[in-house]
Structure 1
Amino acid sequence: MLEFLQEKVESVVKNLRGYGKLSESNVADAVREVRLALLAADVNYQIAKDLCDEVKKKCLGEEVLKSIQPGQQFVKIFHDEMLRLFSEGNPELSSARPLRILLTGLNGAGKTTTAAKLALHFRKRVKEHRIALVAGDITRPAAVQQLQTLGKSIDIPVWFWPEEKTPADLARRARAEAEKERIAVLIFDAAGRLDLDEALLAELKEVSAIIEPQETLLVADSATGQSAVKIAQAFKEHVPLTGIVLSKFDGDARGGAALSMQRTAGIPVKFLGVGEKPDAFEVFDPERLVGRILGMGDIVGLVEKAQEAFDADSMVKMEEKLRKNSFDLQDFIDQMRFMRKLGPMENLLGMIPGMPKVASSGFDEKRMRRVEAMVLSMTPQERRKPDILNAKRRQRIARGSGTSVTELNDVVHRFEEMKKMMSRFSRGKGGGPEKMLSRMMGKRG
């Protein structure tokens, strides 16, 4: 959904630049384009209509400043209305301890994976250490084994007792064990189904009554169509839902219907699943999401990711190298590996203001791997001093990395260009991140 709306809003703003002020005519055209974009992203029709009607009303209102360009006015008003839409409800999790969380949703939505992600979130972000996962989905084949594997990968215990034959029995055992072990956060992965049915909802209601969770979270696939709203309403009628986790938020250009659940079902979105790895999990922040939709980036989210992988000593050394203009190819590889810890490059670029277009144009991850292979085929001395690379050395490196001498020459040339640009950038002169990235990727900018 983000990329599609970004393109539409950018197009609308570009068209509005040609006008001296906002008028009923050009606002109507702009709002129509945005409404069509929202509908194409699977946003609920009534929500899209209400949002656009409010934007139109405020664009033509007296509070619009005459000194601001029409495009800027439209973006500001659209930003504020989107923010209002996504800010309804309380996105915060309960601070109660012990905290019992019940996860529910249909099969295929990513519920079991979300259970592990949520556990890791408490371990890393909330600094809780007494956490336990309960494998309560005994309906789906291999669901228990899946959660056990995920729990082992993040070093968080997964409870399951084969002798307990029903989810209700598992719930009683888990609650008793949690009280005995003084578990601070207990996460119960409840059973799902391929579709909504009375058996699932009755079973869930019974488990909820036993667990008495302070939080009951519905895990919904962001790519789900308009049926997502009906799913949320059906679950809400049987258990007291407190929030929504939107899984696979990075994997589909649509996703608007899942966001519609917040408004139509009156349930706040609390988390976003943004990748397959256990740490690809974000607290839902309306301000940051709206900023990304409007191409403003999410620099706060990027900083948070960087802090999690931050190595203070390495950063001090890197700063010193940049100041002395001694940045070499080994440093380049080290920084590339650091960036990989933060997630896919396309996702990271989309969080930087002004960079979403570069990300969506197709960041060449394969080319970066070829560059890494070339550098790793060099000796430590060659990485530190690329100027000693004569013809014989270059042929050896090309053979060792499975590339060509021409490719290697291009990489070395572009590295020297990038090094000069980084030196200027560190002194506050010219360049900028977009231009540096273009040089690094072999584009002319």
Structure 2
Amino acid sequence: MPQPDGVLPPDLWTRPRMASALATCDMASVIEGVRTARGWSQGDLARAIDYSQSWVSRVVNGQQSLTISQVHDLARRLGVPLHLLRFGDGPPRAGSAEKGVDTTRRRDFGRAVAASALLTATAATAAAPAGARAAGHRCVNETTASALRSITGGQRRMDADSPARHLLPSAVAHVHLSEHMLAQAHGTPFHSDLSAAASEASGFAAWLHADRGDTGSARTYYRTAVARARQAGTRLLDVYMLGSLAAFETDTAQDPHLGLGLVQEAGHVLGASAHPTARAWLACVEALAHAGVGDGPAAVRAIGRAEREAARSANTDPPWPWVFAFDEAKVAGYRALVGVRLSRPHDARRAFAEACAPRAANAKQSAVLQVELASAHAEAGDVDEAFRLAREALATGMRFESERVIGRVRSFRRRYPRPRTRCAADLDEQLTSLVTGVTASG
């Protein structure tokens, strides 16, 4: 039914028809669904989005294709959560704004967004017989969520020393278990806590898929994590998962424009009075996205906000789901990454030194930072040190079978094709051994 005063019903995006439209990028149905839910006429809709009524009529009747920029604009004006929209695997290229969102992109979008992440466990459970639901409730109690979260915590600790390939099967199985328990929790006081546990499980599965280089699966699990965090009604978890998805889209999927939109959505959810750790971390993610689109001043402003938040006296005892306080050293690490993205190598090297990076507890994450530091050295002309760092990072990536690390080293080598030094030759031998299976000498 239409809502009074044009307010969108909170479950609109998880209704089967709307979820299906989102999953196939059927913007005509999405727009029409929003119009109906708000109780608008087509004229009201046209005024709300600042387009002509004839244009709106053509769109909702499937007679008008939309550009990617138009879809982003309409989503913003209509309040469609940006994290539910995705149009392709790469950032917009020159001239892409002239292309409509065609059926190929719709199929890609469908792969990226799992319908199961949008259709809530509530709907699935409501369809089950009452006896089955009652029986299910007996296997869910006040200890279920903490037990599931302890499993995720154990898996996360193992990630520091184990290849993602070894952890993925159990992590994916744990997501299925968490989803099953969540479905059983419908109508119980434990539903919110189990939604949060399922969000954490999906977020970790996303991380592992990204490490394996499977961006499509990673995106699917990240979106499930966002959907479950929103179900949990836990604001900081919602922000954490949205910010994690933003960081993934910015840095791994190489779509900083989408990353910026997700950061803005997370900032709106976070509010102005949140814990300094959350605000500092999100500002750093925003800075990376600004740097990714080449907006240096905005990136510097975001890092400045992060530094101020990190320096606040209240920045102690980080709130869950953060484990460690986001202090000045961590902000310096992000300032270094921004310097690399903006081709400011001397600023980046100073910031890396201030952050004492890369010495993260997680060897794979440390290797990622080593590649970033290698780029800063190469830009500054210190070729030998750059290739030494890249070679060390590649050795770690090979040991842990981390496509995240290996892919970054390959990208580093493509950016600096000229050096013919011994260290460059050593790195080339290592990269060749990945293809031939012949171990590099030395």
Q: Please state which band the TM-score falls in when normalised by the shorter chain.
A: under 0.3
TM-score by length of 1: 0.26
Please say which structure displays the higher CA radius of gyration: 1
Greater RCO (Cα-Cα under 8 Å, separation 6 or more)? 1
**Which is helix-richer, 1 or 2?**
2
More strand by percentage: 1
TM-score by length of 2: 0.26
